[in-house]
Chain A
Amino acid sequence: MASMRDIKRRKGSIQSTQQITKAMKLVSTVKLQKAKSRAEQTNPYSNYMYRTVTSMLAKSGGIDHPYLKKGDAAKKAVVVITSNRGLAGGYNSNITKLVMGSSDFSVQDAEIYAVGNKGREALERRGYNIKEDDSAIIESPSYEEAAGLCKKILEAYTKGEISEIYLAYTHFKNTVSHEPTLIKLLPVEIDEKDVEEAAASANALMNYEPSEEEALDMIIPKYVTSLFYGALVEASASENGARMQAMDSATSNAEEMISDLTLKYNRARQGSITQELTEIIAGASAIS
């Protein structure tokens, strides 16, 4: 049986760990609230963007535009959004697993645009080609920064260096459930059903100025940027949600260990007192 001093020391160390996890939980709760309200505020914009693009594509079904068909290049761009810091449960490893398990691209033909250190490190170790690292963006996502990165990727796309653009991020369903998601940004892919719906609506009479091609030319990059920005904001909400959960369970685990150790400590204390008493009594009876 461990000595009283050992148990006490161990208990103290777990207690201080618990204090840290407790504080981290509080911090990520506050951050989650902020990120969540931001994610909600970006929704109208990206939803509207999606509707507009859908109705444009519904109307201009047969249009021949580079953004709508697959290029010839062998390389494919994959934007991977993870976090810069760990201690968020399975948040980062879920994304890397998703990227590695995807059948759309392989280690050889994927060019990773990493947003978030953790994902970059994990994919680098497994031999993926890291084309760009913009990990600072995820700390506090802003639309300008998202647009900056998008511009770089779109340039590579229009130059024909890459044939497809994928985006891996964690979709924020609600505070407790986050889903790693992989979507294809370009060429634009839109649900058939949505296209049919849009074709049936009044928007089908839409005119475009200056011309349809030019409008597409200008709206598609904005559409991609809005998706990307939405993904960034959602990922940051998911990260904080995941961290909050991880820290919450760490705190309750520590609580459990502490109560276990307290019990052990008390037993050891009782044992030592009993032993002392027995010794005294034995000594006293020997004298008399």
Chain B
Amino acid sequence: MADESKVFKIEIITPDRVFYTGEGDMIEFTTASGDIGVYKKHIPLTTVLAPGIVKIHKEGEEDILAAVHSGFAEILPEKVTLLAEIAEWPDEIDKGRAEAALKRAEERLANKTEEIDIVRAEFALRKALIRLDISK
């Protein structure tokens, strides 16, 4: 049984649905300034998310993994809420599509021309890499 004093609420919300609600002792995710892990009683913090993998730990249970692309996180002592524009479970990811997207983004970045949006291509590349990484 998980220790009550360590457990806090976790919510992941996307525009289309409430993606996940549950509890955990620790959550790891990627922010714009790097990966962070959050335990209970963290100071209140609002931070910008970068594409990455969210990992929810709970004692005695298997880790929950999900891919999250862009959004922000609101951390309160008793609750962590991720507002993500896109969130996916590993089994929802279409591997073939992600691979194709990866290839496309790599090609775009390899032969850089004036017209292409480099920031966008890089973002697509990261998204594809994360999707492939998590669906392994």
Contact = CB atoms under 8 A, between A and B. Distances in A.
Interface string A209-229: 110001100110010001001
Interface residues of B, number: 22
B33 A209 contact: yes
A4 to B, nearest CB: 58
A143 B46 contact: no
B68 interface: no
Interface stretch (A39-47, A239-247, A254-262): A39-47
A244 B76 CA distance: 44
A208 B45 contact: yes
Nearest to A143: B15
Contact of A45 (B15, B33, B47): B15
B110 interface: no
Nearest to B74: A52
B16 A41 contact: yes
B48 A218 contact: yes
B15 A48 contact: no
Contacts, number: 69
A44 B83 CA distance: 10
A14 interface: no
A147 interface: yes
A203 to B, nearest CB: 7
Interface of B: 13-18, 31-33, 43-48, 71-72, 74, 76, 81, 83, 85
Interface of A: 38, 41-42, 44-46, 48-49, 52, 56, 143, 147, 202-203, 205-210, 214-215, 218-219, 222, 226, 229
Given A222-B71, A222-B83, 13 more contacts: A42-B15, A44-B13, A46-B15, A48-B81, A48-B83, A56-B46, A203-B44, A206-B46, A207-B44, A209-B31, A215-B47, A218-B72, A222-B85
